Amino acid sequence: MRMLLLRIVRPAGFGEISPRNVRPSRVFTSPCRAIAAEPSRHTSNIPASQRRFIGVSLAPHRRCPGRRPQAVAFRSSPPDIGPAMEPLLSRIADEHFVPGVAAAAVADGRIVQVAAHGWRDLGRRLPMTIDTPSRWYSISKPLTSLVVARLVAAGKLSWDRPVSQLVPAARFADPVATERATIADCVLHRTGLISGDWTWVGAPSEPAELLRRLPHVPCRPGFRLGHYYQNLHFTILGEALRAVGSDWHSEMRKMLAAIGVRPLTRLAEFVASDRALGYGPNGLSQPHPAEDFDFEGIAPASAVCGSVTDLARVAQAVALGGRELVSRQEFAHVTRPVLAVGRTDWPELRVPCAALAGRTVVYRGELALQWAGGFTGYTAHLVAIPERRIAGVGLCNRSASPAAEALAWSMLDHAAGWEALPWADRFLEQKKRNRQAGQEKLAARLARPAAPWPDLEIPGRYVHGGYGELTLTPDRRLLFRNVELPLVARPDGTLSADGSSRDFAEICWDLRPVIEGGRMVGVDFGPDDPSAACRFTRA
């Protein structure tokens, strides 16, 4: 789930896309030596007790500490396809420093490949399997949109109903958004509400508390004039379900049960399972165990967990036009491109748009759906082209790793019979560039000239209605949630806090003291966005 990524795009609606047809090649080739066979008979619905497993010896892993598992389980048809995936999974896990990876492919509406590789637990030397639960993070968002679509079809909800009518506590900093924001506006992230992630990261996140903080989180000017990726919107949706007599957890379980998936939606359930442990940090370095956050307050945005087999079944349903989840008509409505959301880095991926359920992108001339989630410890990716009844899935237990997306697109290429694009190489180089850019930005900020420390009583606690408490210590340090950074006075009058965080890569914050009568009474600070600084007042 890309929870800390702010997306600012041109304020335009986007109509239907008429994708041109592309005839698939019948030969699959891969620079990763990944897959070299056509899928045939499907075995997607075989009970767990009857699954066929193939043991595959693995070469020593160069990046993650400890020895490799002696075997990894595959399920596929015919039997020789599963082992052919091992080189791709092994290479991606190795180059991206990911302990465990898993992938699946759907062709002609059938699950034809499911595979897992590596470790779900490095410390105990436990291998990742096709039944190992992992966090899907923001793939929960489009799934929640499908839950809403079911309730709309049942007459309990309406996409155009203002959320304030259902959830009176849902109030925005922008009164226009408070009055007019609908359920559709929330799932499209177009209320103007900025990221707001630091309202819940590392803090108590019960829905009632997050709604109390909501009016204090800044909004961009211009209701419905931009797409700002948000998680608090889905807190509102969860409470909207409650207002019509439904419960998000039970509705999600009910919907996914129709395709044989039993999701884990509460942290206690996930931790008690044979789950993959999450690892960080966000980057290309040795993995370290990541913290287990409880995201109950934003559960509809991030809480669905399951195995790669489970996600493959979801991908199968998506490839079949939402079959068993929602009606074909409802599925077409929620997956229609609505709002353009910027650009992509690759020529084969064009015209990315927001839909009511996730995103769409034109891939090799065909309209594809793209569902993604990545945050601390885990990353998941699902891509599908329902017109061709194909899909690809990737999972890994590493914070915000592109390994999952590389696997998903590779699986989709294979399912389509197209010549494989070098997704593993592309995303690796992209990650290296991004990490280098982040490190260069941090180095440049740290190299700025320092100024004498202000002759002010700076230490103390400062509070904000949306972001909670900030502490500035006598030894010139900033304490905010799970972040502790040194403070440096700068010539422009600000106090800077710069450094690296295990889960969020580089953190570069500027705080501006608020002086009244020669006394520091507050600080202007924008944890989510420096251009949307908020007034923290001295407690």
CB atoms < 10 A from the CB of 224, how many?
18
pLDDT at res. 251 = 98
Side-chain half-sphere exposure of 449, counting CA atoms within 13 A? 5
Rounded Cα distance, 262 and 316, in Å: 15
Cα Rg of the chain, angstroms: 23
The reported pLDDT for the residue numbered 293 is 85
Q: Which residues pair with 499 in a beta bridge?
A: 507
First to last CA, the chain: 34
Classified as helix, coil or strand, 233 is helix
Q: Determine the 3-state secondary structure of 532 from DSSP.
A: helix
Q: Are 506 and 438 in contact (CB under 8 A)?
A: yes
Least confident piece of the model among 33-42, 114-123, 435-444: 33-42
Phi, psi of 117 (to 5 degrees): -150, 140
CA 303: distance to chain centroid? 11
Residue 495's beta-bridge partner residues? 489, 511
- Closest C-alpha among 194, 191, 195 to residue 222: 191
Q: Distance (Å, rounded) from C-alpha 338 to C-alpha 328?
A: 18
Region 67-76 average pLDDT: 32
**Cβ contact 506:443 at 8 Å:** no
Q: Give me the pLDDT at residue 403, please.
A: 97
Decide: 161 and 237 in contact? Cβ < 8 Å: no
Q: Whole-angstrom Cα distance, residue 51 to residue 54?
A: 10
- The pLDDT > 70 percentage for the chain reads 84
DSSP character at residue 376: T
The pLDDT of residue 109 is above 60: yes
One-letter amino acid for residue 28 of the chain: F
Name the helix (H) or strand (E) containing 367: strand 366-375
What distances in angstroms separate CA 466 from CA 158, 252, 375, 534, one per listed residue? 29, 29, 22, 9
> Among 95-99, 281-285, 354-358, 436-440, which stretch is predicted with the lowest mean pLDDT?
281-285
pLDDT value of position 182 = 98
Tell me if 370 sits within 8 A of 358, measured CB to CB. yes
How far apart CA 117 and CA 74 sit, in angstroms, is 9
3-state SS, residue 324: coil
Which one is predicted more confidently, 312 or 50? 312
Mean pLDDT calculated for residue range 484-492: 97
- The CA distance from 187 to 152, in Å, is 14
Cβ density class 139-150: b for 16+ within 10 Å, e for less: bbbbbbbbbbbb
Mean pLDDT of 236-251: 98
pLDDT at 13 over 90: no
The arithmetic mean of pLDDT across residues 364-388, rounded, is 97
pLDDT at 67 (0 to 100): 34
Phi-psi region of 363 (alpha: psi -120 to 50; beta: other; left: phi over 0): beta
| Average pLDDT score over residue span 344-361 | 96
Q: Which fold has domain 48-146+246-437?
A: Beta-lactamase (3.40.710)
Give 378-434 pLDDT, tens digit per residue: 999 999 999 999 999 999 999 989 999 999 999 999 999 999 999 999 999 999 999
Residues 456-465 pLDDT 10s: 999 999 999 9
Torsional sign, CA 67, 70, 75, 81: positive
**316 and 106 Cβ atoms separated by less than 8 Å:** yes
DSSP-assigned letters across all residues of 246-296: --HHHHHHHHHHTTT---B-SHHHHHHSSPPPPEE-SSSS--EEPP----G
Report the chain's mean pLDDT, rounded to a whole number: 85
Measure Cα distances from 410 to 58, 156, 307 in Å.
21, 40, 19
Section 152-181 average pLDDT: 98
Question: According to the model, what pLDDT value does residue 196 have?
Answer: 84
Residue 111 tokens read as 């699950």
Amino acid at 40: S
Q: Across residues 190-217, what is the average pLDDT?
A: 91
Average pLDDT over residues 499-522: 88
Q: Are 397 and 126 in contact, with CB atoms under 8 Å apart? A: no
Q: Are 96 and 40 in contact (CB under 8 A)?
A: no
Q: What is the mean pLDDT of residues 483-497?
A: 96
Type of residue numbered 13: G
Backbone φ and ψ for 471, nearest 5 degrees, come out as -120, 130
The two three-digit tokens of residue 127, written as one number: 């291998």
What is the per-residue burial (b if ≥16 Cβ within 10 Å, else e) of 508-529?
Answer: bbbbbbbeeeeebebbebbbbb
- Residue 506's pLDDT band, with cuts at 50, 70 and 90, is confident
Cα torsion 318, 324, 325, 329: sign:
positive
The secondary structure element, H or E, covering residue 487 is strand 483-489
How sure is the predictor about 288, in pLDDT bands with cuts at 50, 70 and 90?
very high
How do beta strands 110-121 and 100-107 pair?
A: antiparallel
Helix axes 403-416, 81-95, angle to 10 degrees: 150
Q: For the chain, which residues make up each domain, given as ranges? A: 48-146+246-437, 157-243, 460-538
